[in-house]
Amino acid sequence: MTETLVALPASVRDVFDTVVARNPHEPEFQQAVHEVLLSIVPVLERHPQFVEGGILERIVEPERQILFRVPWLDDAGRLQVNRGFRVQFSSVLGPYKGGLRFHPSVNLSIIKFLGFEQIFKNALTGQGIGGAKGGSDFDPHGRSDAEIMRFCQSFMNELYRHLGEHTDVPAGDIGVGAREIGYLFGQYRKITNRHESGMFTGKGVQWGGAEVRTELHGKRVAVSGSGNVAVYAIDKAYQLGATPVTASDSSGYVVDDAGIDLVLLRQVKEVDRERISAYAARRPSARFVEGKRPWEVPVDIAIPSATQNELDEGDAAMLIANGVRAVAEGANMPSTPGAVAAFQRAGVLFGPGKAANAGGVATSALEMSQNASRQRWSFADSERKLQAIMKGVHDSAFAAAERYGHPGDYVVGANSAGFERVAHAMLAQGVI
């Protein structure tokens, strides 16, 4: 992300300067903090007790940062060593909750930005869960199932001591799907001698997982990515009558004017674990565009679902010129500040990730509730509960934007509503 961040008001500038000084080589984390601070200035003006109580100084500092070595043997018997991370940012509303990401780009800045975002996203759901994130710079691509199992077991050998259904409940993220979660949960169960179904979410439906996770008639949709978030975004677009026409990975994107074949996409990415170009090779209606992102494709709706800062100001300009009407963030912070500003100037309906992709963690919390009560809800039950939660997320963000003088600005609304809930709880629980 090379765009220059706009200057912050004096009321929050000192806090941000401290963040930069303490975390000088963490641009993603700095960007995430900057966005929230910029949004909540009206909240601080309305609630001076948040300033007097040192809420900002505390909320930008994680409660705990865990960094550890992950040694494992590859199939040739060679020793490999990766780094493992878990940043537990805030437990004021409930046990830490946030995914694990396995990708070579993972570093402390990435994990801290994701954990910081998770505080406010989780608060928006109203479900009593805190914010955390974790992962490793391990790359599962091209690794055998046996190698991934050995890595996951070594990773959990250290992390297990910091987890538990009342302490910290991870889930999946990029590079961590049902296979990885199975290996991680199995090792946790073996080490602890406890079957705590509620300490990990995103599990298989057969052994404790939720049945959900899984008005746009005639609309074309561009989705980036081809992992869990992208696959379910494509699935939901079809359910709502739209035609999703793109998917991507780090090598480029495919465009399929007949509509993405979800069965084929899952076969290519989840079973065969090939590059996205293999989809186009097997689908006559699709073509592969190497080294580019799908934002040049004319669509009505864009759902960036791959990774942070994947959609910049130039991409936004192309989408706007091609008539995009709405952008909903599926990934965490996928749009750069310049892109967000461009969408807002153009009157494009913009759903920030903290609100638009809160359904994932909301479903995780539903899974935790099922596990705690040892019940299993039907798909219809889970879908109904999730719809109610997401309506609440929308209404909270909408009302907060109105309340703080930015009607229709869901960035301000989501950040402000989430921050309010966390700040009030922090004040009530004292200086901890």
List, by residue number, the catalytic residues: 133
Three-point CA angle 422, 427, 431, nearest 5°: 110
What is the 8-class DSSP label of residue 267?
I
How would you classify residue 376: left for phi > 0, otherwise alpha for psi between -120 and 50, otherwise beta?
A: beta
Under DSSP, the state recorded for 142 is T
Q: Give me the torsion for CA of 310, 313, 318, 320, rounded to 10°.
A: 110
CB-side exposure of 334: number of CA atoms within 13 Å? 30
223, 305 in Cβ contact below 8 A?
Answer: yes
* Cα dihedral across residues 111, 116, 121, 123: positive or negative: positive
CB under 8 Å to 409, separation ≥6 — which residues? 344, 401
Measured CA to CA, the distance from residue 432 to residue 423 in angstroms comes to: 13
Both tokens of residue 61?
């500092």
Cα–Cα distance for residue pair 335/307, rounded to 1 Å: 9
Residue from 212, 144, 201 nearest 177 by CA: 201
The residue with tokens 């912070």 is 333
